[in-house]
Structure 1
Amino acid sequence: MADWGPVIVATLLFVLLSPGLLFQIPGKGKVVEFGNMQTSGASIFVHAIIYLGLVTIFVIAIGVHIYADN
């Protein structure tokens, strides 16, 4: 029995929080830009902090578990 919860949570958040895919904080011209598909060092840092916080909340604090039987 394998626990796939942390793997799925981390993968989904990594894809959704890629800078420029859905939004970018800070943007090139504004504080928040949506769907511009561009990135900068500052936005990579901000998105990494947000990613770390959300993964910690979902995996450790809430304890998301998805079990798969083989």
Structure 2
Amino acid sequence: MNDWAAPLIGTALFAFLCPGLLFQLPGKHRPVDFLNMKTSIPSMLLHTVIFGLLLILFLVILNIHLFA
């Protein structure tokens, strides 16, 4: 049996937290921009921190497993 939770959670978080796809923190003109498809260095750094924290939450703290 393979545990598919880690690759699925990592891929989903990576896709949804790409700066500019759904939202951008910090935005160019506002604190939060939605669906602007642009990015900046501060935005990439903040999204990287959010990605890492959510990945730790799901995989280490909540210990989620999905066996298939």
TM-score (norm 1): 0.95
- The residue type equivalent to 2:15 in the other structure is V
Gap runs ≥5 in structure 2: none
DSSP-derived class of the 1:64 partner: coil
| Deviation digits for residues 11-62 of structure 1 (CA, Å, limit 9, x no counterpart) | 0000000000000000011110000000000000000000000000000100
Q: Distance in 1 between matches of 2:16 and 2:63?
A: 20
- The residue type equivalent to 1:5 in the other structure is A
- The residue type equivalent to 1:36 in the other structure is N
**Equivalent residue for 1:38?**
38
TM-score (norm 2): 0.98
Q: Over the residues paired in the alignment, what is the CA RMSD in angstroms?
A: 0.4
**Equivalent residue for 1:10?**
10
Larger Rg: 1
Q: Distance in 2 between matches of 1:32 and 1:16?
A: 15
Gap runs ≥5 in structure 1: none
DSSP-derived class of the 1:65 partner: coil
1:60 aligns with 2:55: no
Higher-strand-fraction structure: 1
**What's the % identity of the aligned pairs?**
43
